Amino acid sequence: MNKLQNLSKGIIKENPVLVLVLGTCPTLATSTSVVNALGMGAAATIVLICSNAVISALRKVIPDKVRIPCYIVLIAGFVTMVQMLVKAFAPALDQSLGIFLPLIVVNCIILGRAEMFANKNTVIDSVLDAVGMGAGFTLALSLMAVIREVFGNGTFLGIEIPVFVDNKISILTMAPGGFFVFGILIAAMNKFAKNKPKKKSFGCDSCPQAAACGRAGAGCGDKAEVSAK
């Protein structure tokens, strides 16, 4: 696989949110406004680039058996750094992201890329992969945020939009709206994607911890669900 593909595959073909369905929690929770979505996307991307780079640099040093704990410690370290930076330079963003900033540690995208890509590839490839995946995450998050903010709140980046502001569908900014918009987006992705993304079963196959937990969840094992075809 060449370098350009490593970079670009994260954006559409293997979009971490819409195709691989990783990192659902922050996607649903922080997509209520475009500013939050961009902030969350940027924070996660920085952590992803740093962790992918370091993990792939250390891939020959880290013993295979304890790799997951090692990854988690590395990731937690980077998350703490980002957390301190955001607290210092963007306190408003820190307020609105709240709990979801420290929760980047358990974001499946980051651990997933470490497990699936960074521990098998060179540093440069891993960084490119991280940039692509981060961009894909930010893009999907912003897309959802645009829909939810424009229709739900009648604003875009905080600026009121004439017609929409009088016809708010407030439910879109609340919890049910998040699930709904996300569902519709994935359905649209299934329908209109140019070369149909291979339908991934949602369960152990797409879960980065599959190896660690040995496909533990009973509901996890059966793939029949999505790959009905």
Partner 1 sequence: MTKFIVILLSAVFVNNYVLSRFLGICPFLGVSKKLDSATGMSLAVIFVMMMATAATWPIQTFLLDPNGLGYLQTIVFILVIAALVQLVEIVLKRYIPALHQSLGVYLPLITTNCAVLGVTILNVTDYPDDFLSAMVNSFGSGLGFFLAMVMFSGVRSKIESADIPESFKGLPVTLIAASITSLSFLGFGGVVENMFPA
The first and second tokens of residue 100, run together, are 């979801």
Nearer to partner 1, 6 or 33 (CB): 33
- By CB under 8 A, is residue 207 in contact with partner 1? yes
Nearer to partner 1, 75 or 128 (CB): 75
- Report CA torsion sign: 175, 89, 155, 37: negative
Query: How many residues interact with partner 1 (rule CB under 8 A)?
Result: 55
- By CB under 8 A, is residue 124 in contact with partner 1? no
Choose which of 92, 122, 184, 198 interacts with partner 1 (CB under 8 A).
Answer: 184
Cα torsion 203, 208, 213, 219 to 10°: value is: -10
Q: Which residues contact 184 (CB under 8 A, 6 or more apart)?
A: none
d(CA 51, CA 144): 26
Residues 38-97 that bind partner 1 (CB under 8 A): 69, 72-73, 76-77, 79-80, 83-84
Q: Are 158 and 92 in contact (CB under 8 A)?
A: no
Instruction: Give the interface segment with partner 1, choosing from 39-47, 98-106, 126-134, 154-162 (CB under 8 A).
Output: 98-106
d(CA 117, CA 55): 10
d(CA 68, CA 212): 8
Choose which of 53, 62, 90, 106 interacts with partner 1 (CB under 8 A).
Answer: 106
Q: Show the CA angle centred on residue 63, arms to residues 59 and 67, nearest 5°.
A: 75
Choose which of 38, 53, 103, 169 interacts with partner 1 (CB under 8 A).
Answer: 103
Q: Are 5 and 126 in contact (CB under 8 A)?
A: no
Choose which of 4, 25, 85, 157 interacts with partner 1 (CB under 8 A).
Answer: 25
- By CB under 8 A, is residue 217 in contact with partner 1? yes
Nearer to partner 1, 4 or 184 (CB): 184
Q: Are 118 and 52 in contact (CB under 8 A)?
A: yes
Which residues make up the interface to partner 1 (CB under 8 A)? Answer: 21, 24-25, 28-29, 69, 72-73, 76-77, 79-80, 83-84, 99, 102-103, 105-108, 111, 171, 174-180, 182-184, 186-188, 190-191, 199, 202-203, 207, 209, 212-214, 216-220, 222, 225-226, 228
